[in-house]
């Protein structure tokens, strides 16, 4: 995983559509002498899975499963996939059609968000086993980590001016470091769905229930199109249409999300009185002020509490707003810190921007992300007509694809971008305020799914699997596979998170 400071635009882009928002950390496998348990043809041993930011662990069974890196050369290099098994509560004998959870990113490892998955699928797990397979290139599945000869992460010059050239030069060094360990050309969605089906066969499961978050929704759609006979049901949360160029629409989706957040403040008497300038206008004002003259700020590092001094740039402010817009509980701070900045008090903004940068920086395996987007999205990207009114400029998309000229890849088949048309039962979930996969994306995908149903979680951002009564609805849907019969009225209890009116919290 990357843990150094990239250009702000590159960081903003790398947040991408990571689904579960908590940054992950690896779990630990059990002792080697612990008796193994067999599921199908795979031997598992006890392990503990953790998710950073969560105050609990998940006890599981873990295994490795080998697949060829290049399926056209079955005698060539083989790689290990990490497979984690969350056993059903039904006395260890779950129903025969397990759940495969597909993580976001690209670049997130499924086993490293196990606590979130266990919470979201707690009703499902009462009857069905859940499997978390780290997609090749992530987590414990031959990660495409950028390592030097000493085995440590390749450094990047933190003091260098942010630029596409900086990202490209780093990607070139990273690709060189992978020689002998991995060929990045074979770490795409097409290879991932073949891996999933190989694991399915080894487990002895005839059909699967797929649950995908964010980029995982692309994986779920692609698997269902390739293996409809082995797909029982699909849940996709934070929906990515197959035909979407990931990264190409960020400026529009982020702008719309900030506008929606601003409108909520205008509708609230306390918020509108405390912040007479709406959030979108205030954000633009602060960004334009810093564009004219970046400010040197003294503040406390949110991770260490050590005093720091840093130049606050327009990109860092936009990056913070983008990061916060993923989670309503964070975005509720935005009007306050922007108001402080507008009055010349930049320390809270600088501190939060540094914390957001650190969080974004280690969620995603950047090498695997490049392998996917350079193959599947960059060849289809067309720069939009620039709009002077957009909060996010074209530099975000340029940074997103900056590595592609030097990163080893081969363009994906045209069929990869074909919309899914299927009679399978599909539940599509969206957060109303999602800044990267808005509800209109789910409606777009729904057109090809006569047995599908789209639900929008009011006031929620990116990732709704744990929101309110959603875990119960997931259990009911996967049990019945009838999306249209679901009584989703319980979602009406979801509400908006009010804006902080001071650093003490919300108004009483």
* SS3 call for 450: coil
Number of other CB atoms surrounding residue 55 within 10 Å = 6
Tens-digit pLDDT profile for residues 402-428: 999 999 999 999 999 999 999 999 999
> For residue 388, what pLDDT is reported?
58
Of residues 159, 139, 212, 186, the one with CA closest to residue 363: 139
| Torsion over CA: 248, 251, 255, 258 (sign) | positive
Q: Name 46's bridge partners.
A: 61
Q: Are 451 and 425 in contact (CB under 8 A)?
A: yes
Q: Are 436 and 16 in contact (CB under 8 A)?
A: yes
> For residue 161, what pLDDT is reported?
62
Highest averaged pLDDT of the listed ranges 20-29, 154-163, 405-414? 405-414
Instruction: Provide the pairing of β-strand 78-86 with 57-68.
Output: antiparallel
> For residue 199, what pLDDT is reported?
98
Of residues 130, 128, 132, 122, the one with CA closest to residue 95: 128
Give the total residue count for the chain.
508
Distance of CA 229 to the CA centre of its chain: 28
> For residue 160, what pLDDT is reported?
63
Q: Provide the token pair at 276.
A: 């007479």
Tens-digit pLDDT profile for residues 333-378: 999 999 999 999 999 988 887 776 655 545 689 999 999 999 999 9
With 0-12 CB in 10 A as exposed, 13-18 as middle and 19+ as buried, what is 38? exposed
Tokens 């990571």, located at residue: 18
Phi, psi of 85, rounded to the nearest 5 degrees: -115, 115
* Alpha-carbon span 419 to 8, nearest angstrom: 32
pLDDT (mean) for 209-221:
98
What confidence tier does 321 reach under pLDDT thresholds 50, 70, 90? confident
Phi, psi of 471, rounded to the nearest 5 degrees: -55, -35
Instruction: Provide the pairing of β-strand 208-213 with 231-237.
Output: parallel
Q: Which ranges of 447-504 would DSSP assign to H, the alpha helix? A: 470-480
* SS3 call for 226: helix
> For residue 317, what pLDDT is reported?
86
> For residue 506, what pLDDT is reported?
76
Tens-digit pLDDT profile for residues 243-292: 999 988 888 898 899 999 999 999 999 999 999 998 989 999 999 999 89
* Alpha-carbon span 258 to 324, nearest angstrom: 10
The H or E element that residue 349 is part of is: helix 347-361
Phi, psi of 404, rounded to the nearest 5 degrees: -60, -35
Helix-strand-coil percent breakdown of the chain, rounded to 5? 40, 15, 45
Of residues 441, 450, 440, the one with CA closest to residue 484: 450
Whether 58 shows a pLDDT value over 80: the answer reads yes
* Alpha-carbon span 325 to 346, nearest angstrom: 19
Residues 6 or more apart whose CB falls under 8 angstroms from that of 173 comprise 146, 154
**188-216 exposure pattern, b = at least 16 Cβ within 10 A, e = fewer:** bbbbbbbbbebbbebbebeebbbbbbbbb
> For residue 194, what pLDDT is reported?
98
Tens-digit pLDDT profile for residues 446-461: 999 999 999 999 999 9
The H or E element that residue 269 is part of is: helix 269-274
Of residues 388, 6, 348, 361, the one with CA closest to residue 162: 6
357 HSE (CA, 13 A, CB side): 22
- For 89-217, list the strands marked E by DSSP: 99-102, 130-133, 208-213
Whether 162 shows a pLDDT value over 90: the answer reads no
Average per-residue pLDDT in the chain? 88
Distance of CA 184 to the CA centre of its chain: 20
- What's the predicted TM-score (pTM) here? 0.91
By percentage, how much of the chain surpasses pLDDT 70? 88
């Amino acid at each position: 995983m990357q843990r150094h400071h990239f250009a702000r635009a590159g960081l903003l882009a790398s947040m991408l559509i990571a689904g579960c928002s908590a940054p992950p950390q690896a779990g630990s496998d059990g002792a080697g002498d612990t008796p193994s348990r067999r599921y199908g043809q795979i031997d598992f041993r006890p392990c503990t899975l953790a998710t950073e930011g969560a105050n609990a662990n998940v006890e599981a069974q873990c295994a490795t499963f080998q697949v060829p890196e290049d399926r056209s050369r079955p005698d060539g290099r083989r790689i290990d996939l990490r497979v984690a098994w969350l056993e059903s509560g039904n006395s260890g004998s779950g129903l025969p059609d397990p759940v495969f959870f597909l993580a976001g990113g690209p670049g997130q490892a499924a086993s490293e968000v196990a606590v979130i998955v266990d919470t979201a699928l707690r009703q499902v797990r009462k009857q069905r086993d859940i499997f978390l397979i780290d997609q090749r290139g992530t987590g414990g599945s031959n990660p495409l980590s950028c390592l030097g000869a000493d085995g440590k992460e390749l450094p990047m010059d933190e003091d260098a001016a942010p630029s596409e050239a900086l990202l490209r030069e780093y990607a070139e060094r990273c690709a060189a470091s992978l020689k002998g360990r991995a060929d990045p050309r074979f770490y795409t969605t097409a290879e991932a769905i073949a891996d999933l089906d190989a694991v399915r066969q080894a487990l002895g499961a005839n059909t699967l229930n797929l649950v995908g978050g964010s980029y995982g929704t692309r994986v779920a759609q692609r698997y269902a199109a390739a293996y409809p006979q082995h797909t029982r049901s699909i849940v996709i949360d934070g929906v990515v249409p197959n035909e979407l160029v990931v990264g190409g629409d960020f400026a529009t989706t982020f702008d719309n999300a900030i506008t929606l957040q601003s409108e909520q403040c205008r509708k609230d008497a306390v918020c509108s009185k405390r912040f007479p300038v709406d959030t979108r206008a205030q954000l633009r004002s602060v960004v334009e002020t810093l564009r004219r003259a970046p400010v040197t700020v003294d503040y406390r590092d949110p991770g260490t509490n050590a005093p720091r001094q840093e130049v606050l740039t327009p990109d860092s402010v936009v990056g913070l707003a983008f990061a916060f817009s993923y989670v309503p509980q964070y975005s509720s701070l935005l009007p306050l810190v922007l108001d402080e900045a507008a009055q010349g008090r930049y320390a809270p903004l600088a501190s939060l921007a540094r914390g957001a940068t650190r969080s974004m920086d280690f969620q995603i395996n950047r090498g695997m992300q490049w392998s996917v987007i350079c193959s599947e999205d960059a060849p289809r990207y067309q720069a939009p007509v620039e709009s002077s009114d957009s909060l996010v400029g074209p530099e975000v998309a340029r940074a997103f694809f900056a590595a592609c000229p030097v990163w080893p890849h081969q363009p994906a088949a045209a069929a990869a971008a074909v919309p899914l048309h299927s009679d399978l039962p599909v539940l599509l979930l969206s957060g109303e305020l999602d800044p990267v996969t808005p509800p209109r994306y789910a409606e777009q995908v729904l057109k090809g799914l006569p047995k599908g149903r789209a639900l929008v979680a009011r006031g929620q951002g990116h990732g709704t699997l744990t929101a309110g009564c959603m875990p119960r609805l997931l259990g009911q849907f996967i049990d019945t596979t009838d999306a249209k019969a679901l009584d989703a009225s319980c979602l009406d209890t979801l509400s908006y998170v009010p804006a902080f009116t001071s650093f003490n919290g919300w108004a009483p």
